[in-house]
Structure 1
Amino acid sequence: MSGPREQDGAHAVPGRLGPTDSWEGVRALVTGFGVSGFAAADTLQHLGADVLVLDDRAPEGAAAERAALLEELGVELRLGEGVTASLPEGRDLVVTSPGWRPDAPVLVQAADRGLPVWGEVELAWRLRGPDAPPWLCITGTNGKTTTVQMTEAILRAAGHRAVAVGNVGRPVLEAVMDPEPLDVFAVELSSFQLHWTRSIAAQAATVLNLADDHIDWHGSAGAYAADKARVYEHVQRACVYNVDDPATERLVREADVQEGARAVGFTLGVPGPGMIGVVDGLLADRAFIAERHTSAAELGSVSDLDDDSPHQVANALAAAALARAHGVPPAAVRDGLRSFRSGPHRRTLVAEQDDVRWVDDSKATNPHAALASLRGVDSAVWVAGGLAKGARFDDLVTAARDRLRAVVLIGTDAPVLAEALRRHAPDVPVVHVGSGEDGRMDAVFADQGGGSSETVMTRVVETAVGLAHPGDTVLLAPGCASMDQFRDYAARGDAFAAAVRAGLTRG
């Protein structure tokens, strides 16, 4: 081989090999054939590794085409039910897709045998070249995608060749291997991705907020927080934390960072020295200026944002702190935030009729995000439910009950929400529209009549029309994942919007 090898467990595995080195002789196993799995398999084959891919799901459509391409290149694929029950013999390294739980049999067996198990993000980090762009890494329970896109917008406003990658859509590995020259990566990382990382050393990183989520995957709230905390390990310049969420500061205090790295807080209040915050509607930097103890640098205005709700301002402050850690000037922060527009299914106004607003916040897939959404309205008919992922809703209901006109429940874990509402908001009317078996993943509203009147979102709208009063907001902020009834949160939001438009037209 043309590079060093390091001992990881009982096996010799590739060390700091760059993207131009040969991995000939490395026997790699890739578990999962989604977007990340394909990127890992394609890259490892390109580098010369002997690659085997396992996935219990048989590929369809575009995935089948990708499978055929890899097979033509010499990658072995075993795709179909039961193939991941045992670890194949003779493998040196496992690269797993982020959604794979640590208790998956093949991963447990790999750990038992001492094989290194990396995620696609860890592999990407290890494949960086000698002049690789630095990473600005973003995680948190909520706001990751918005913040990584804001960070990208600010970096580009400063003239940097920057790209948002990771959990936002484009695999980090694909971007690392792209020959296009780049200056900096804005990297969104989920707790799943972080679980499988070990060596990442971001230039700057943030945990935006921390609330219970994905407990079913991680096993406990403590394990979830510990995986989020990995983003701060080995940070070079700045650990950005949320002053209003002490749990994030605690993660920074416990992190093992590089010498000279600083803790930088962001707050919706007036910032102290070493922080970024808000003063009289202006975004103020008291962290990245020499005179931080006596003055602040103006980074723009709250009014520059397309959405000035508190959680969006917090996202903007975090993005500003990361960009400033990279050396971006104040004017670029302002220009980047002015140009940024929020993505779909994030507090999107669908319709307004008879003084009732209909808002799609399908991206609110956990209680923390749903509460932030509810706090943005005075009186809500709240549409909630789906897959709770082990989360509880008592704190959410207690905090939001005075804003609830009524609640419409959908999905598998509707009883979990119903129980929290019975305990903490017994006077709020609750209607459960059913298990949603007919709100199947491929439900669409193609015709002008809005599709079948038996679809879940049609029933939601019909029910909400009868519950809403003038001045109310019918708010889809489910607090749950969507996969029990829909392909993803976007399909859920699209179905809601289509049902609203059809229902109000009929009305």
Structure 2
Amino acid sequence: MTHANLDHLTRWESDWADLRVVVAGLGLSGFSAADTLIELGAKVVVIDGADTEVNRSRADTLKIVGAADVFLGAGHTDELPMIDGQAPQLLIASPGWNPRQPMLAAAAEAGIEIWGDVELAWRVREKEGRKLAEWVVITGTNGKTTTVGMTESILKAAGLRAIAAGNVGTPILDAIRDPEGFDVIAVELSSFQLHFTHSISPLASVVLNIAEDHVDWHGGFGNYKADKAKIYERTRIAAIYNADEPVVEAMVENADVIEGCRAIGFTTGVPSLSMVGVVEDLLVDRAFIEDRRNSAAELIALDQIGEVVPRHTAANAAAAAALARACGVEPAAVAAGLAGFDPGDHRIQAVARRDDVLWINDSKATNPHAAGASLGAFSSVVWIAGGLSKGVEYDELVSAHAKRLKAVVVIGTDTATLLQALERHAPQVPVIMAQVRETGVQGGAGSAGSAAGWAVMSQAVKAAAGIAKAGDTVLMAPAAASMDQFSSYAQRGNAFIDAVRALMGDDPR
């Protein structure tokens, strides 16, 4: 597939008028893409397989702001629609749409360009009278949201107008269209989004880590890694890599970056030349200082970042610091930004401590790699785990942490691979199955959201409480997605918080 026929579309003022575009998906990114394209004067058709109240409302909004045809329902997603009797020239794929989906596959077969909203945002970022923002881009299997938030906090502490966007919170096109503009945009990119990007050239880029995830979407781990590695292409100033992961380092070595771009490592150990790392519980910089061969610049003491700073949090802080330093931010602003950063809920969140038992909510740990990082932070763990496995294996995770497991409480409906791994690698560890197994749970992310979801977690918390003793940690790090019993990882985390509080006599219901 070639992209030559749309190469002229490189700024807001390019000739977008009457371009025939299909937008696949009407979620936040799809809506922002359609809204942008309508404003640019393109002829837009939007397709979404879900005929929901939210999508109907978004469709009505698009029809009000400009000419757009919106088709909702499963019957519209299999065939590529015609626009004014002609084939579309461009398809904008929302991140969740698999490239093997029939409509996307048909577009690829026909030689129609397929972009994501991130590619579109890069193409329209230049506009007369609007500040042109630099991009620093972040991906990895785990830690993306924390790192992009840390980066935003540091940039703001330096006095820059900055925002975190992309796969977190603000859609990238909404950030791009801000009338005032930004100095720097910290862009979180999922592997789905990277699959549909082709021309972005960021100031700095980073892959935090790589582990098996989303293999069903990508059609294999090799394809997943290849899409993650795309983030380094055309990087201009700093290609930042996890020096503790050879697979990530190899991505930088093989990347086609802009001449003059530096490879900058980050580590939770003592940093070598051109790295950011940790020396005696201090985060230090040996990459962005003049005398980096003989000295290091102190950035921040780890205990100023948070009460609990496990290894992966320190790694995220090192990566964020490297991104900010690539933008010219001074060490004092790095310290202020990291010290002031609020990681939010569901990421190694201390919920309670009673009778010297610590209760931790890490519902954001939706895969084995993330759960392993959490497990590694504690010595004696009653582990609440399970959910929708997404085709991954658990043998390596269980084998690595079997000695720290006091017991495992299993939730979820897709538990076979987890149970098999526990039987193989931790046969001495008691396993307790939560008894409530309802599926199809719906509800908002701001509360437990459903009686069934709350009951699942209530059973798990009560079982954990019956085992945990002084010095133990009850860790809810499921190593799986949540959609079998909850609507989101946030709902799952809130159910855990509610169940713990209820157990301790503060019933939120």
Q: Structures share a fold, TM > 0.5?
A: yes
The alpha-carbon deviation at position 57 of structure 1 amounts to 0.3
Question: Is the Cα–Cα contact under 8 Å of residues 14 and 26 in structure 1 kept in the other structure?
Answer: no
Letter matched to residue 43 of structure 2: D
Give the corresponding residue for 2:304. Answer: 304
* Higher mean displacement: 46-55 or 67-76: 67-76
CA distance in 2, matches of 1:305, 1:469: 28
CA distance in 1, matches of 2:248, 2:353: 38
CA distance in 2, matches of 1:256, 1:175: 27
The alpha-carbon deviation at position 22 of structure 1 amounts to 4.5
Give the corresponding residue for 2:269. Answer: 269
What is the TM-score normalised by the length of structure 2? 0.94
CA distance in 1, matches of 2:343, 2:93: 31
CA distance in 2, matches of 1:259, 1:451: 57
The alpha-carbon deviation at position 506 of structure 1 amounts to 8.3
Give the corresponding residue for 2:430. Answer: 429
* Higher mean displacement: 139-148 or 438-447: 438-447
The alpha-carbon deviation at position 16 of structure 1 amounts to 2.9
Letter matched to residue 107 of structure 1: L
Query: Does residue 1:115 correspond to 2:92, yes or no?
Result: no
CA distance in 2, matches of 1:296, 1:10: 45
Question: Given the superposition, is the C-alpha separation of residues 160 and 452 from structure 1 closer, same or farther in structure 2, using an over 3 Å criterion?
Answer: closer
SS at match of 1:358: strand
The aligned runs of 1:109-188 (5 Å cut-off) are 109-129=106-126, 132-188=132-188
Q: Identify the match of residue 38 of structure 1 among 20, 31, 44.
A: 31
Give the corresponding residue for 1:376. Answer: 377
Question: Given the superposition, is the C-alpha separation of residues 444 and 499 from structure 1 closer, same or farther in structure 2, using an over 3 Å criterion?
Answer: farther
CA distance in 1, matches of 2:453, 2:134: 52
CA distance in 1, matches of 2:467, 2:453: 18
Number of matched residues? Answer: 497
Question: Is the Cα–Cα contact under 8 Å of residues 47 and 71 in structure 2 kept in the other structure?
Answer: yes
Percent of residue pairs bearing the same amino acid type: 52
The alpha-carbon deviation at position 268 of structure 1 amounts to 1.2
CA distance in 1, matches of 2:445, 2:200: 42
Question: Given the superposition, is the C-alpha separation of residues 91 and 216 from structure 1 closer, same or farther in structure 2, using an over 3 Å criterion?
Answer: same
Give the corresponding residue for 1:102. Answer: 99
Query: Does residue 1:293 correspond to 2:293, yes or no?
Result: yes
Letter matched to residue 259 of structure 2: E
Give the corresponding residue for 1:260. Answer: 260
The alpha-carbon deviation at position 17 of structure 1 amounts to 3.9
Question: Given the superposition, is the C-alpha separation of residues 394 and 157 from structure 1 closer, same or farther in structure 2, using an over 3 Å criterion?
Answer: same
SS at match of 1:492: helix
SS at match of 2:187: strand
Question: Is the Cα–Cα contact under 8 Å of residues 11 and 114 in structure 1 kept in the other structure?
Answer: no
Question: Given the superposition, is the C-alpha separation of residues 53 and 11 from structure 1 closer, same or farther in structure 2, using an over 3 Å criterion?
Answer: farther
Question: Is the Cα–Cα contact under 8 Å of residues 162 and 185 in structure 2 kept in the other structure?
Answer: yes
CA distance in 2, matches of 1:180, 1:344: 30
The alpha-carbon deviation at position 285 of structure 1 amounts to 0.9
Query: Does residue 1:65 correspond to 2:62, yes or no?
Result: no
Q: CA RMSD in A?
A: 2.0
Query: Does residue 1:281 correspond to 2:281, yes or no?
Result: yes
Question: Given the superposition, is the C-alpha separation of residues 124 and 300 from structure 1 closer, same or farther in structure 2, using an over 3 Å criterion?
Answer: same
Question: Is the Cα–Cα contact under 8 Å of residues 439 and 457 in structure 1 kept in the other structure?
Answer: no
Letter matched to residue 96 of structure 2: G
CA distance in 2, matches of 1:47, 1:432: 54
The alpha-carbon deviation at position 298 of structure 1 amounts to 1.5
Give the corresponding residue for 1:54. Answer: 47
The alpha-carbon deviation at position 173 of structure 1 amounts to 1.2
The alpha-carbon deviation at position 295 of structure 1 amounts to 1.1
The alpha-carbon deviation at position 282 of structure 1 amounts to 1.8
The alpha-carbon deviation at position 160 of structure 1 amounts to 0.6
Letter matched to residue 339 of structure 2: R
Letter matched to residue 384 of structure 1: A
Give the corresponding residue for 1:3. Answer: none
The alpha-carbon deviation at position 267 of structure 1 amounts to 1.1
The alpha-carbon deviation at position 419 of structure 1 amounts to 0.3
The alpha-carbon deviation at position 440 of structure 1 amounts to 1.9
The alpha-carbon deviation at position 179 of structure 1 amounts to 1.2
The aligned runs of 1:432-451 (5 Å cut-off) are 432-434=433-435, 436-437=437-438, 440-442=441-443
Deviations 1:330-389 (A, max 9, x none): 111111111112110111122222332221100111101101101111111111111111
CA distance in 1, matches of 2:488, 2:328: 37
Query: Does residue 1:15 correspond to 2:8, yes or no?
Result: yes
CA distance in 1, matches of 2:81, 2:247: 41
Question: Given the superposition, is the C-alpha separation of residues 451 and 214 from structure 1 closer, same or farther in structure 2, using an over 3 Å criterion?
Answer: closer
Give the corresponding residue for 1:75. Answer: 68
Deviations 1:128-177 (A, max 9, x none): 11662111000001110110011011111111111110111111111112
Question: Is the Cα–Cα contact under 8 Å of residues 11 and 92 in structure 1 kept in the other structure?
Answer: no
SS at match of 1:479: coil
The alpha-carbon deviation at position 9 of structure 1 amounts to 3.3
CA distance in 2, matches of 1:261, 1:9: 27
Give the corresponding residue for 1:5. Answer: none
SS at match of 1:363: coil
Deviations 1:255-277 (A, max 9, x none): 00000001100111111111111
Give the corresponding residue for 1:395. Answer: 396
CA distance in 1, matches of 2:439, 2:137: 40
CA distance in 2, matches of 1:109, 1:382: 45
Letter matched to residue 415 of structure 2: A
The aligned runs of 1:214-233 (5 Å cut-off) are 214-233=214-233
SS at match of 1:395: helix
CA distance in 1, matches of 2:207, 2:351: 31
The alpha-carbon deviation at position 443 of structure 1 amounts to 8.6
Question: Given the superposition, is the C-alpha separation of residues 460 and 67 from structure 1 closer, same or farther in structure 2, using an over 3 Å criterion?
Answer: same
CA distance in 1, matches of 2:14, 2:182: 20
Give the corresponding residue for 1:4. Answer: none
Question: Is the Cα–Cα contact under 8 Å of residues 441 and 453 in structure 2 kept in the other structure?
Answer: no
Question: Is the Cα–Cα contact under 8 Å of residues 136 and 204 in structure 2 kept in the other structure?
Answer: yes
Question: Is the Cα–Cα contact under 8 Å of residues 163 and 184 in structure 1 kept in the other structure?
Answer: yes
Query: Does residue 1:337 correspond to 2:338, yes or no?
Result: yes
CA distance in 2, matches of 1:120, 1:126: 10
Letter matched to residue 62 of structure 2: L
Query: Does residue 1:250 correspond to 2:247, yes or no?
Result: no
Letter matched to residue 59 of structure 2: A
The alpha-carbon deviation at position 23 of structure 1 amounts to 1.5
Question: Is the Cα–Cα contact under 8 Å of residues 439 and 456 in structure 1 kept in the other structure?
Answer: no
CA distance in 1, matches of 2:118, 2:375: 34
Question: Is the Cα–Cα contact under 8 Å of residues 204 and 240 in structure 1 kept in the other structure?
Answer: yes
The alpha-carbon deviation at position 452 of structure 1 amounts to 6.9
Give the corresponding residue for 1:465. Answer: 465
Structure 1 portions without partners, runs of 5+: 1-7
The alpha-carbon deviation at position 434 of structure 1 amounts to 4.3
